[in-house]
């Protein structure tokens, strides 16, 4: 069986820094990886939604994954974003990532063409059967139009290459039912920064976070406090960070966090279409909240 969980605590869904011409800024990317690790983050997720994996070419996607794994050099758990709405493409990309030293693969539910629950079982089983690393299944129905049912999680939980789930549906009844059906067979991670502590209270293992791009140490601290039994302190930190979390999602992710990270010196405020830079009024509020957390922007 696959060791579970892949990581405990906070993993950063890392941006992919870009230059003014839209190409990947590898110098900034390397500095960002080093800083995240120095700040004590538990894991890094590369080329996921926040990393604009959907608009990287196949060659870029593989190079971004390869660069990040080599830069991290085993210092922290690494998760590769390898999902696709084309199962065959997800299999290919997942197999490529397995050759690069990743600890796990983050595979989103098929979007646009979607799938039945039976199709989800077949899709995730097909990917898991083809790879040598464990999968973390990514459920984000607001983006994909499909929701993984608790019974579907239960049907997948005993696969030796399916280790966990990133839940971004926001439905705690759904999460509680999933936990009841799967127990410790699947590690559950929050996919929503405003719901970390409540999910940990249901037996979750941590968060795959956008916030931790900006505040890796504090996001990790939120998890560490909870696991140390300091639940009130963890909850207080969750509440303290809510205004900044909301600002980071005032427009579709990763628009706000890309502006935030550019202001911190990690690449330019450049996104690939159809995403466009943050509106000035939203940016002003975001930067004010970052300054309130002691960040120099």
For the whole model, what pTM was predicted?
Answer: 0.96
> Pairing relation of β-strands 43-46 and 162-167?
unpaired
The rounded distance, in Å, linking the Cα atoms of 30 and 89 is 27
Task: Quick: pLDDT tens for 46-86.
Answer: 999 999 999 999 999 999 999 999 999 999 999 999 999 99
Q: Indicate whether 274 belongs to any domain.
A: no
Task: Quick: pLDDT tens for 232-266.
Answer: 999 999 999 999 999 999 999 999 999 999 999 99
The rounded distance, in Å, linking the Cα atoms of 295 and 52 is 24
Residue-number span of the structural domain to which 33 is assigned: 9-230
| Contact indicator for 6, 47 with CB cutoff of 8 Å | no
The rounded distance, in Å, linking the Cα atoms of 104 and 63 is 17
Kindly state the DSSP code that residue 18 receives in the 8-state scheme.
B
Q: Which of 133, 166, 218, 258 is catalytic?
A: 166
* Rg of the chain in Å (alpha carbons): 18
Task: Quick: pLDDT tens for 170-188.
Answer: 999 999 999 999 999 999 9
Q: Indicate whether 263 belongs to any domain.
A: no
Provide the strand spans (E) within 71-131.
77-81, 104-108
* Active-site residue, 189 included: no
Q: Indicate whether 211 belongs to any domain.
A: yes
Q: Indicate whether 259 belongs to any domain.
A: no
Q: Which of 102, 138, 189, 266 is catalytic?
A: 138
The CATH code of the domain that includes 181 is 3.20.20.70
Total domains in the chain come to 1
Q: How many helices (H) and strands (E) does the chain have?
A: 13, 8
pLDDT of 3 higher than 90: no
Percent over 70 (pLDDT), the chain: 99
Predicted local confidence at residue 286, as pLDDT: 98
* Active-site residue, 26 included: no
Q: Integer distance in angstroms from the first to the last C-alpha of the chain? A: 46
Q: Indicate whether 36 belongs to any domain.
A: yes
Q: Indicate whether 293 belongs to any domain.
A: no
| Contact indicator for 83, 22 with CB cutoff of 8 Å | no
Predicted local confidence at residue 1, as pLDDT: 44
Q: Indicate whether 13 belongs to any domain.
A: yes
Q: Indicate whether 172 belongs to any domain.
A: yes
| Contact indicator for 17, 267 with CB cutoff of 8 Å | yes
The rounded distance, in Å, linking the Cα atoms of 192 and 83 is 19
Kindly state the DSSP code that residue 157 receives in the 8-state scheme.
T
| Contact indicator for 204, 189 with CB cutoff of 8 Å | yes
């Amino acid at each position: 069986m696959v060791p579970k969980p892949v990581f405990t605590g906070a993993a950063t869904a890392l941006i992919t820094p870009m230059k003014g011409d839209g190409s990947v800024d590898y110098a900034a990317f390397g500095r960002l990886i080093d800083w995240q690790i120095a700040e004590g983050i538990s894991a890094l997720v590369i080329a996921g939604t926040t990393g604009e994996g959907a608009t990287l070419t196949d060659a870029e996607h593989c190079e971004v994954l390869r660069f990040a794994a080599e830069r991290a050099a085993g210092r922290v758990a690494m998760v590769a974003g390898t999902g696709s709405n084309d199962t065959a493409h997800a299999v290919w990309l997942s197999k490529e990532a397995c050759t690069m030293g990743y600890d796990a693969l983050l595979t989103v539910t098929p979007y646009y063409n979607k799938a039945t629950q039976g199709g989800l079982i077949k899709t995730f089983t097909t990917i898991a059967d083809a790879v040598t690393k464990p999968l973390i299944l990514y459920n984000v129905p607001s983006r994909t139009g499909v929701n993984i049912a608790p019974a579907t999680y239960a049907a997948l939980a005993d696969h030796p290459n399916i280790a966990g789930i990133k839940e971004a549906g926001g439905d705690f009844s759904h999460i509680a039912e999933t936990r009841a059906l799967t127990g410790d067979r699947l590690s559950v991670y929050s996919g929503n920064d405003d719901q970390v502590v409540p999910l940990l209270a249901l037996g979750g293992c941590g968060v795959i976070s956008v916030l931790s791009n900006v505040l890796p140490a504090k996001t990790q601290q939120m998890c560490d406090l909870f696991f140390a039994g300091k639940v009130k302190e963890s909850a207080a930190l969750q509440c303290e960070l809510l205004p900044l979390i909301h600002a980071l999602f005032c427009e579709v992710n990763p628009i706000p966090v890309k502006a935030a990270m550019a202001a911190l010196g990690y690449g330019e405020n450049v996104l690939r279409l159809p995403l466009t830079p943050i509106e000035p009024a939203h940016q002003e509020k975001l930067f004010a909240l970052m300054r309130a957390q002691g960040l120099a922007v």
